[in-house]
């Protein structure tokens, strides 16, 4: 359970994920073993179709493996009921998407509050936490703006504020800078890294090698397998391919 003196936040063993495409079976993930310790900053890279997104969905409990076990904070989460998984997503996991995924009819403040609303947290506490988040993310004067009145960078800041509002242990970011120009992308990465510095585990899927290089640990996927792990440069740690 412990690696480098820290508890494993994520522990994947023998994960298989198979999609049926017509007559052929596609192994989106195959024989995947992976440990990520609490507080790590991990970049997942690899070509399109290599299984990065499937891995991220799986880590975020949006998808279930066909085989293997996934332990999150020491607890086997693959056997949980959908409602229990929803609860884990609500309390332990924050998502940041490439296309932001803000609800267009809600204001910035309402979007940030959405996970708390869904979790049934009282309005008073929500308002206090949203106000704090708006200040932290420099969105004070944008609270009542709707997403279409915000710039791309502001939208992603709202999305990150939303991902962190429940104080999750894990933030999963899927190409968080993919829809942003270089400068705002840089800002967003700085924000995510600051969050990581405060102790949140950060897993980023990216195409961008420079962004990948900034992470403490790089994972490279290919054909559903882990091809390279900077924490274990020797290929022997990986399952035999």
Partner 1 sequence: MRLADTLRFARDAATGYPLRTALSVLAMSIGVAAVVILTALGDGARRYVVGQFSSIGTNLVIVLPGRSGTGGFNPANAITTTPRDLTIDDAAALRRASAVSRLAPLAVGTSEISFGGKLREVMVAGSTAEFIPIRNFELAQGSGLPEEDWNRGSPVAVIGAKIREELFGSEPAVGKLIRVGDRRLRVVGVLSSRGQGLGMNTDELVIVPVSLAQALFNSNTLFRILVEARSREAIPEAKEQVMEILKQRHRGEEDVTVITQDAVLATFDKLLGALTLGVAGIAAISLAVAGILVMNVMLVAVTQRTGEIGLLKALGATARTIRLAFLAEAAMLSTVGAIVGYLLGQLGAFGLRQAFPVFPAYPPDWAVIAGLSTALVTGLLFGVMPARQAARLDPVQALMKH
**For partner 1, the closer CB: 85 or 177:** 85
Cα 193 versus chain centre, distance: 13
Q: Which of 13, 78, 90, 179 binds partner 1 (CB under 8 A)?
A: 90
Radius of gyration of the chain (CA): 18
Q: Which of 27, 38, 97, 238 binds partner 1 (CB under 8 A)?
A: 97
- DSSP percent split of the chain into helix, strand, coil, nearest 5: 35, 30, 35
Side-chain-side CA neighbours of residue 20 (13 Å) = 3
**For partner 1, the closer CB: 37 or 168:** 168
Q: Which of 23, 83, 124, 233 binds partner 1 (CB under 8 A)?
A: 83
Place of tokens 């932290």: 136
Only segment of 56-64, 127-135, 190-198, 212-220 that touches partner 1 (CB under 8 A): 56-64
φ/ψ of residue 147, rounded to 5? -50, -35
Question: Residue 106, interface with partner 1 (CB under 8 A)?
Answer: yes
How big is the site for partner 1, counted in residues (CB under 8 A)? 29
Place of tokens 């904070």: 73
174 contacts 53 by C-beta, under 8 angstroms: yes
φ/ψ of residue 34, rounded to 5? -160, 135
**For partner 1, the closer CB: 156 or 218:** 156
Q: What angle do CA 143, 149, 152 make, to 5 degrees?
A: 95
Only segment of 110-118, 186-194, 195-203, 226-234 that touches partner 1 (CB under 8 A): 110-118
Residues 128-187 touching partner 1, rule: CB under 8 A, are: 162, 166
User: Which residues bind to partner 1, rule: CB under 8 A?
Assistant: 57, 60, 62-63, 82-83, 86-87, 89-91, 95, 97, 99, 101, 103-106, 114-115, 117-120, 122-123, 162, 166
């Amino acid at each position: 359970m412990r690696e480098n003196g820290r508890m494993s936040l994520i522990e994947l063993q023998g994960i298989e994920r198979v999609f049926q495409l017509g007559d052929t079976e596609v192994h989106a993930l195959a024989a995947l073993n992976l440990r990520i310790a609490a507080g790590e900053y991990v970049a997942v890279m690899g070509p399109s179709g290599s299984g990065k997104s499937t891995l991220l969905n799986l880590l975020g409990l949006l998808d279930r493996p066909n085989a293997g076990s996934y332990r999150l904070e020491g607890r086997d989460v693959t056997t949980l009921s959908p409602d229990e998984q929803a609860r884990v997503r609500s309390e332990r996991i924050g998502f940041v998407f490439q296309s932001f995924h803000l609800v267009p009819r809600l204001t910035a403040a309402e979007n940030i509050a959405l996970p708390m609303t869904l979790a049934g947290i009282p309005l008073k506490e929500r308002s206090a936490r949203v106000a704090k988040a708006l200040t932290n993310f420099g969105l004070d004067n944008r609270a009542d703006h709707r997403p279409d009145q915000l710039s791309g960078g502001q939208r992603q800041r709202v999305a990150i504020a939303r991902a962190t509002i429940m104080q999750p242990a894990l933030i999963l970011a899927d190409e968080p800078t993919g829809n942003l120009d270089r400068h705002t992308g840089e800002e967003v990465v700085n924000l995510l890294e600051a969050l990581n510095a405060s102790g949140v585990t950060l897993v980023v899927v990216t195409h961008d090698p420079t962004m990948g290089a900034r992470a403490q640990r790089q994972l490279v996927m290919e054909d559903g397998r882990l091809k390279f792990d900077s924490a274990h440069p020797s290929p022997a740690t990986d399952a035999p391919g």
